[in-house]
Chains A and B, each alone.
Chain A
């Protein structure tokens, strides 16, 4: 089974900061990685798929990069609405989620 390790588990940053979340796969998943945003009481929403393709309607301050086993989600300028938990998901072999990163606004 492919394990996904996400870091950090929590981060606190100020509005306007550049924020980076890392996701590592236990084996190569090529580019088959998605990122989701989940706010309390809401369903997860896909932000990025195939490592770097932005879902329609998602603000351009979100971007994804990586390949193989190491991936990143970057928020170029953190906004108050970005307070949420973010999950990576591999879909190369079955499906596995990272443990999540809770992003808080200072």
Chain B
């Protein structure tokens, strides 16, 4: 069974940093692109970032480009999201999600249970 377990969420002040982790199990991690998606009450689901299976290629939403960095450690089956210069608008539940099809990105399946990030002074 595929499992994705996010950690690292919490309360951070505006301008601060936080690193999310997603521990993956139950599938060949090195074969799948991985993504971060966030949920906010006002905006619904928003794609944040995706990294290719090898980690060589990364993609970012304009709203986080230059502030967030996605990476993966294929030896540890773990996905990361380094979030810097955090803003109130980054407050959200952050989901880790697996690409549904090996070798491509496509749609996301499954998703983790989420890590809550709150940016507030």
Set of chain A residues within 8 Å of B114, measured between Cβ atoms: 43
Cross-chain pairs A/B with CB under 8 angstroms, 25 sampled: A1-B62, A34-B107, A36-B45, A38-B45, A43-B113, A43-B114, A44-B45, A44-B108, A45-B110, A46-B107, A46-B108, A46-B110, A55-B109, A87-B45, A89-B107, A91-B107, A94-B61, A95-B35, A95-B47, A95-B50, A97-B45, A97-B46, A97-B47, A100-B44, A100-B45
Main SS class of interface, B: strand
Nearest Cβ on chain B to A96's Cβ, whole angstroms: 6
Set of chain A residues within 8 Å of B111, measured between Cβ atoms: 43-45
Q: B27 contacts the other chain (Cβ, under 8 Å)?
A: no
Set of chain B residues within 8 Å of A62, measured between Cβ atoms: none
Given contacts A43-B114, A46-B107, A94-B47, could you give 14 more A-B pairs where the C-beta distance is less than 8 Å? A32-B106, A34-B107, A43-B113, A44-B45, A45-B110, A46-B108, A55-B109, A89-B108, A94-B50, A95-B35, A95-B50, A97-B37, A98-B44, A99-B43
Set of chain A residues within 8 Å of B61, measured between Cβ atoms: 94
A91 touches B106 (CB 8 A): yes
Q: Residue B47 contacts which of A38, A45, A96, A100 (CB distance < 8 angstroms)? A: A96
Considering the chains assembled together, what is the distance between the CA atoms of A49 and B112 in angstroms? 19
The 10 A-B residue pairs with the shortest CB-CB distance in the complex, in nearest-first order: A34-B107, A43-B111, A100-B44, A95-B47, A97-B45, A46-B109, A49-B107, A99-B44, A91-B106, A87-B45
Q: Please give the number of chain A residues whose Cβ is less than 8 angstroms from any Cβ of chain B in the complex.
A: 22
Set of chain A residues within 8 Å of B108, measured between Cβ atoms: 34, 44, 46, 89, 95
Q: A74 contacts the other chain (Cβ, under 8 Å)?
A: no
Contact with A along B46-65 (1 / 0, CB 8 A): 11001000000001011000
Nearest Cβ on chain A to B38's Cβ, whole angstroms: 10
Q: B105 contacts the other chain (Cβ, under 8 Å)?
A: yes
